[in-house]
Structure 1
Amino acid sequence: MIDVLIFTRWLIVTWQEKVDLFLGYLSNSRGYSSHTVAGYKGDLSHYATYCQEKDVNPAVPPRGFLRGYLAYMAECGYARRTVARRVAALRAFFRYQSQLTGSENPAEHIHTPKLRRSLPRFLSEEQVEALLQAPDAKTVLGCRDICILEFLYSTGCRVSELVGLDLEDLNLPAGCARVLGKGRRERVVILGERALIALERYLSNGRPKLVQGQSSQRALFLNRFGGRLTDRSVRRLLDKHADTAALDLNVSPHTLRHTFATHLLEHGADLRSVQELLGHANLSTTQVYTHVTKRRLYQEYLAAHPRA
């Protein structure tokens, strides 16, 4: 049943106001990160530009119009992943519009292009060791960076979870920390012995020199000016230390997350346990790591077996 009042209000606001309401819903009600929300905004903007060129109201596309938009993107040579992401944004927007007003969902029957699922890249244990040894432990920033690298590898947390940590999220006596993941789902991550040592050194020797007298600052990881570290800064410091360690590959925070999961499975961890540690809602998301470990096992077989 359509709520006539809500439906009427929705009809009279502009497309941009509709998008802003939708993005606010993603951020406030669904707990999506600012980067995810920005991605949705960009994808909806691309769709709106196409609609403008075709003189079509983007909120009420005629039947078959969305399939035409997909065909247009294919003709332009957009990558399947880009097309799939934009389709997902449209489906989410029109589902929100339909739920809000009770109107028909024009994106209900459009399908996301099938993607070839690439295997996650990860570091060997030797490469991890080289990376962890790269920062200069004698400097304040080096002390902080060692702590960050140890924390990422020990917990497998996302970079957004890392930079969102506050002091009260730590429970050092219990060897764990509380993080806020996707969809604002809270979970506890376990800190290994080396990560705990790095944290204690950072809290006693590094952070006090970075906080610069700002006693109200609760963020765990700080930049050189005493403010909360951003995920972009973490990516930059990883690039820097990967270069120092002479790692001839692109290392991102998510690479360490992949490495965490892969090494756990290689050393006999249960898949369900790895799912819980990563904070995956679905086991199928975690299962990709079993393909990685099987591939590596096959490579080791070929290298070691005399009749391989």
Structure 2
Amino acid sequence: MSTNVIAVHIRNLQLHNATPTTIRHRLDNLQRLEAKLGKPLIEATVDELVEWQAGLRVSPSSIATYTAHIRSFYRWALLNGVIEIDPTIHLVTPKLKRRLPRPIPEQDLAVALITSRYDHQLFCVFLLAGYCGLRCGEIARIARSDIREDEKNGGAYLVVHGKGGHERIIRIAPDIYTEVRSLMGRAGFLFLSKNGQPYTPNRLTQITSAHLKAIGLPYTLHTLRHRFATRLADLGADVRDVQVALGHQHLSTTTLYLASNTRRSTSSVDRLGRGLSSMTRR
């Protein structure tokens, strides 16, 4: 019975045009919870779900994600008359700390680019993250048809398939596009594995992380995205433009990059500090 309910719920997500990633994660969470409970999900009690959440040994952000998936399922079940009481009423959503960006330093980015030259696909992945601000999943989903060359000014424009099914258009600078263009001799996805299949975001993350670790750099591909955003802020880009480029839904997320950007204020702070000697002169 519960398996059928899960299947109906998944079909409902598909009807609402949920992304394949959301559907996959929802299904995985529901199946793992059902296996943990050892009974159909629709028979779960409030106490059982509280015990399940308390037993999670993952990061607070993962707990928040798992809880959101489970809550969504039971709210849908309640709305459709599958259950009479929502058993998630006492689940707690952890308060998450706001994490400041951790951009890869420029000299380390240069090392990552130089050492990836032997693999042009890997080199272009680093370019698209560090100079266009793309997430790993967005890079994996790039197809030839998503790119429109700018014949007048050089470079190109890219339709990015972002998180939650949201699309945006970003600029690829001429120097970056010169490198990416060599991957466009075929239709379909740009980044393919040796067997000709497109990379999954997880696999692309593993490959880039392994390369960075092998050359002694303690970073991930996402830190190159952070570098893109902080460098835009350094150059004086409008915060709204940075928000659009990154595909942030909320401006508050983008302002974190401005909060960590100290270069523009450094000279003013230094000038202010120079008044100390005259102020304290006896």
* Equivalent pair of 2:234/2:261 in contact (CA under 8 Å): yes
Q: CA deviation at 1:239?
A: 3.1
* Equivalent pair of 2:46/2:88 in contact (CA under 8 Å): no
Measured in 1, the distance between the counterparts of 2:61 and 2:188 equals: 38
Measured in 1, the distance between the counterparts of 2:196 and 2:31 equals: 36
Q: Gaps (5+ residues) in structure 1?
A: 1-13, 212-216
* Equivalent pair of 1:242/1:251 in contact (CA under 8 Å): yes
Equivalent of residue 145 in structure 1, options 107, 110, 122? 122
Match of 1:268 in 2: 236
Asked whether 1:59 is paired with 2:42, we answer yes
Equivalent of residue 182 in structure 2, options 201, 205, 209? 201
Asked whether 1:94 is paired with 2:71, we answer no
Equivalent of residue 222 in structure 1, options 178, 192, 201? 192
* Equivalent pair of 1:30/1:183 in contact (CA under 8 Å): no
* Equivalent pair of 1:177/1:191 in contact (CA under 8 Å): yes
Match of 1:119 in 2: 100
Equivalent residue of 1:229, what SS? coil
Measured in 2, the distance between the counterparts of 1:78 and 1:236 equals: 20
Asked whether 1:191 is paired with 2:175, we answer no
* Equivalent pair of 1:150/1:194 in contact (CA under 8 Å): no
* Equivalent pair of 2:108/2:217 in contact (CA under 8 Å): no
Match of 2:280 in 1: none
Instruction: Supply the RMSD in Å over aligned alpha carbons.
Output: 3.2
Alignment of 1:1-308 (within 5 A): 14-27=1-14, 29-34=16-21, 36-52=22-38, 57-62=40-45, 65-70=48-53, 72-73=54-55, 78-101=58-81, 104-108=85-89, 110-136=91-117, 142-173=119-150, 175-203=156-184, 208=185, 217-243=187-213, 246-252=215-221, 254-293=222-261
Measured in 1, the distance between the counterparts of 2:264 and 2:68 equals: 33
Q: Which amino acid aligns with 1:262?
A: T
Q: CA deviation at 1:179?
A: 1.8
Q: Gaps (5+ residues) in structure 2?
A: 277-282
* Equivalent pair of 2:157/2:171 in contact (CA under 8 Å): yes
* Equivalent pair of 2:50/2:90 in contact (CA under 8 Å): no
Shift of the 78–17 alpha-carbon distance from structure 1 to 2, 3 Å rule, reads same
Shift of the 17–257 alpha-carbon distance from structure 1 to 2, 3 Å rule, reads farther
What is the TM-score normalised by the length of structure 2?
0.78
Q: CA deviation at 1:173?
A: 1.7
* Equivalent pair of 1:31/1:182 in contact (CA under 8 Å): no
Measured in 1, the distance between the counterparts of 2:209 and 2:57 equals: 31
* Equivalent pair of 2:30/2:70 in contact (CA under 8 Å): yes
* Equivalent pair of 2:102/2:226 in contact (CA under 8 Å): yes
Q: Which amino acid aligns with 1:248?
A: L
- The superposition leaves residues 124-161 of structure 1 with CA deviations (integer Å, 9 ceiling, x where unpaired) of 22222222222235xxxx23322222222222122222
- The superposition leaves residues 224-251 of structure 1 with CA deviations (integer Å, 9 ceiling, x where unpaired) of 343323324422442354246x342032
Measured in 2, the distance between the counterparts of 1:106 and 1:49 equals: 17
Shift of the 83–150 alpha-carbon distance from structure 1 to 2, 3 Å rule, reads closer
Measured in 2, the distance between the counterparts of 1:228 and 1:287 equals: 34
- The superposition leaves residues 169-221 of structure 1 with CA deviations (integer Å, 9 ceiling, x where unpaired) of 11112621112222222211110122111123344xxxx5xx6xxxxx42222
What is the TM-score normalised by the length of structure 1?
0.73
Shift of the 195–78 alpha-carbon distance from structure 1 to 2, 3 Å rule, reads closer
Match of 1:5 in 2: none
